[in-house]
Amino acid sequence: MVPEPARLLATAPTDHGPRTTDKTRFTCLARDPDSAARLGRLATPHGVVETPAFMPVGTQATVKGITPEQLRATGSRMILANTFHLALRPGEEVVAALGGLHAFMGWDGPILTDSGGFQVFSLAARNRVSDQGVSFRSHIDGRLLDLTPERATSIQEALGADVALCLDHCPSLPASESVLCDAVERTIAWARRCKAAHTRRDQALFGIVQGGAHAGLRARCTEALVALDFDGYAIGGVSVGEGHAEIRQALAVTTHLLPEDRPRYLMGVGRPQDLLEAVATGVDLFDCVLPTRNGRNATCFTAKGCVKLRNAAHRRDPRPIEDGCDCLACGRFSRSYLRHLFLAKEMLGPILASIHNLTYLHRLTRRIRAAISEGWFVQLRREVLEALGP
């Protein structure tokens, strides 16, 4: 049976009023007829990103081991950098003096910077949270530092990212309802202050939804942030201890409450299975360290599940990581050679495996976009999940 075509949209709805930025705009182009999946276009000062899209993580102004040219060859169009790490080293003033983050790292495509909140709560040696902000000691040199909503916003403006995120309170999970409630109320208050402090009209500002796996708190946070009218919305707190069932629950509560005409970004999720499930609920953007971290640990994504390159079965294996893949690793090197690189602790092994994993995810998101446009995303999701296995 020929699937019903996706519902095409000439322009995005504008029921939430004008943007607060001049150059960053989101347009929903089509919707899948059998799910909430949608095809979109995010226009930024440094280029257009077709959505759904995956963003590689360049924590310290670099995606580990991969040059900007190699990164673009994988299909990457937008990347994420880390506000917390860059503020500590080399300092946002250094980056600004050298022309901003794009010039500093030699990447001419769009960049999103996170707020630094997650890193403060997970990496800082000691931190103290108040309604004013977070005081913490640097994990690098032990300096005592303060991060407020205003400070997080000014750092990201100095870095010059295309998309900045509000400072949020991201508690470790599992957490009690009272802890989650405090985090949600603080996240809302900090979001209000971030918006008041934000001045760059060429930079979009996203609010971050918190609430753990608590449906009522998720809804409370979502509705309060939507009322503040941000340029986009991130769904946070779904990669800090929850299982996959809790992630799906958080998405079910959150995405349908978010504006149709703003991009939706699921933070820290990069498993192919999770991307497919999130796209089905209407999510547009993703980031995660998983593809490059797995690559550095000799684990590669394929359409039939993960390949572990250190396994003895690949000692004489002449095949590429994945037949039909056009990445640098698969186009020139065998599994046997890649296994040798990892066992010999040669840096080329992690680089090639990371390139493959990013290429795989970008190829998957291209297939997702095509399936949404043609009205058969649900079928694609079923086929991919069945092939990947448990």
> 147 and 267 share a domain?
yes
Is residue 287 part of the annotated active site? The answer reads: yes
Given 285, 305, 331, which residue is the final one in a domain?
285
Tell me the pTM. Answer: 0.93
Residue 357 lies in a domain: yes
- Exposure string over 270-283, b if 16+ CB within 10 A, otherwise e: bbbebbbbbbbbbb
Catalytic residue among 231, 274, 284, 287: 287
> 40 and 155 share a domain?
yes
Q: What CATH number does the domain containing 149 carry?
A: 3.20.20.105
Catalytic residue among 22, 32, 114, 326: 114
Residue 17 lies in a domain: no
Residues 211-246 have pLDDT tens digits of 988 999 999 999 999 999 999 999 998 866 556 777
Given 224, 254, 285, which residue is the final one in a domain?
285
> 84 and 96 share a domain?
yes
User: In this model, does residue 134 exceed pLDDT 70?
Assistant: yes
Residue 5 lies in a domain: no
Per-residue confidence (pLDDT) for residue 16, from 0 to 100: 38
Give the whole-angstrom CA distance, residue 205 versus residue 290.
25
Confidence of residue 120 (pLDDT cuts 50, 70, 90): confident
Q: What percent of the chain has pLDDT over 70?
A: 92
Residue 7 lies in a domain: no
> 256 and 166 share a domain?
yes
Residue 311 lies in a domain: yes
How far is C-alpha 321 from the geometric centre of its chain's CA atoms? 25
Contact 315, 336 (CB under 8 A): yes
Is residue 326 part of the annotated active site? The answer reads: no
Residue 356 lies in a domain: yes
> 250 and 123 share a domain?
yes
**Phi, psi angles (nearest 5°) of residue 26:** -115, 135
Which of 12-21, 144-153, 187-196, 371-380 has the weakest average pLDDT? 12-21
> 79 and 199 share a domain?
yes
Give the DSSP letter of residue 243: -
Residue 180 lies in a domain: yes
> 96 and 167 share a domain?
yes
**Domain of residue 133, residue span:** 22-285
> 61 and 149 share a domain?
yes
Give the whole-angstrom CA distance, residue 299 versus residue 212.
29
Give the whole-angstrom CA distance, residue 22 versus residue 231.
11
> 151 and 261 share a domain?
yes
> 63 and 128 share a domain?
yes
Residue 304 lies in a domain: yes
Count other C-beta atoms under 10 Å from residue 26's C-beta. Answer: 24
> 130 and 253 share a domain?
yes
> 153 and 263 share a domain?
yes
Given 230, 263, 285, which residue is the final one in a domain?
285
Region 329-340: mean pLDDT is 98
Residues 142-185 have pLDDT tens digits of 888 899 999 999 999 999 999 999 999 988 878 899 999 999 99
Domain count, the chain: 2
Residues 255-303 have pLDDT tens digits of 999 999 999 999 999 999 999 999 999 999 999 999 999 999 999 999 9
